[in-house]
Chains A and B, each alone.
Chain A
């Protein structure tokens, strides 16, 4: 135990598809091996694996076993959704820095289209626990709640359908430059407004692109990183807030998200400001999540995010490039782990056509509603 520091040294992923035909184990091992190859590190050095899952994926010790490891010093599976997509990385960094393991893989592997779909009710729904107060009324999928939050934001701040549309349009425009993204055809405001309703105020273009795939990052000590292939990326700070017992409808102010709590703490902890960020990979399970978190993290005032997007401030040449990969809306719904892949790629200057010039600092957020977290990555 000591004051050693941990850094991100590798990233890996599978293809993202609308139907993988693969197991979550197969995709997890592929993404993890890709992260190891990226770093130039042998798998034998891995002694920690961290993931999150809602019970829809393979557990870390099976991934380690499949990769030929006899065991793991630090296996951790966090039960939860995309709200844990930053916490898992922070856990791996903390575990390495504390000496509980030397090298840790972090992955998320899911068949969010062909397997368990968050945007669908599979079979008979048993309305147990708190669900008994929602499901009998037809509150069946998470997006309905976030639609209600967006509606409250519209009421409190005068935001509009078009504001949501600007997020969808800009995010898709970014995806057009990303060969790994599933949806790359640009859309117009007319396309957006003509797209089919799911739950007002959300249309289909407001919703994450359910897909299958896996993404992984590799964490080890800064000392070990010196001998590896890639420039290291450092986590400069992490903050999270899991509020309201995980019950979105009991969050007191629905015009703000968890990020209203996390943002100020993250900036205080890192000594940085939103203006310092070259890019932001904002968790975007819905357009409204991008919009509200952009405001909560302080890139603009409440109610101003739609205009921020419309005025080109969220893209190249603007204030901050938001989701240059196309996010969950257009690249793929890999539950937020794809945001970490993109952040590291950008900070290493390896994003090709969509490279954010001189990218040195990136905010990555995770989650929506009352629960989520965020971290800042910087070039080491």
Chain B
């Protein structure tokens, strides 16, 4: 089994490169409208609320609640061959209602997973150029 294989690597573009630079520095950055204060994720060129194009990354708290999750049992890519089952999740950030992002829940037994549970960001380097924002139960 080849465990040196990398996961699918993000192809950063001018809209998203800040996010990956942030994770490498262990900061969770979300694009925010500098005109009305609305957070925008996924990164887009225009604020959906006020249509301002004046957006800039801002560091968020790193706190979240678990919105939903699925436990993937089958590796769909060589990187996960020795990592199944793994928890793919959507977490809701407290900075704004419905501000959700995809992640993995780590450091948590599967039968302890509970929608609504508080989680916090934890950064892990998974490839030379890639650090991912995972979430773990608060206090774990």
Contacts and interface: CB of A to CB of B under 8 A. Distances in A.
Nearest to A136: B7
- Interface band, chain A: 35 or more
A138 B10 CA distance: 12
Contact of A152 (B67, B73, B130): B67
B123 interface: no
Interface of B: 7-13, 16, 42, 67-74, 76-77, 79-80, 83, 85-86, 88-90, 98, 100-104, 115-116, 126, 130, 132
Contacts of A139: 88, 102
Contacts, number: 110
Interface in A184-214: 196-202
B102 A249 contact: yes
Interface in A119-143: 120-121, 124-141
B9 A130 contact: no
B9 A136 contact: yes
A136 to B, nearest CB: 5
Contacts of A148: 68-70, 88-90
B73 A137 contact: no
Contacts of A138: 7, 72, 76-77, 79-80, 83, 86, 88, 104
A121 to B, nearest CB: 5
Given A120-B76, A127-B9, A148-B88, A137 B102 contact: yes
Closest 6 CB pairs of A and B: A132-B10, A147-B70, A200-B71, A135-B8, A152-B68, A140-B76
A144 B88 contact: yes
Q: Which of B42, B69, B70, B130 has the most CB of A within 10 A?
A: B70
Interface in A94-153: 120-121, 124-141, 144-145, 147-149, 151-152
A136 B115 contact: no
A144 B76 CA distance: 11
B76 A127 contact: no
B115 A152 contact: yes
A136 B10 contact: yes
B20 to A, nearest CB: 8
A104 B69 CA distance: 43
Given A152-B68, A199-B73, A254-B68, A136 B132 contact: yes
Interface string A54-72: 0000000000000000000
Contacts of B72: 138, 144, 199-200
Interface string A252-288: 1010000000000000000000000000000000000
A139 B102 CA distance: 8
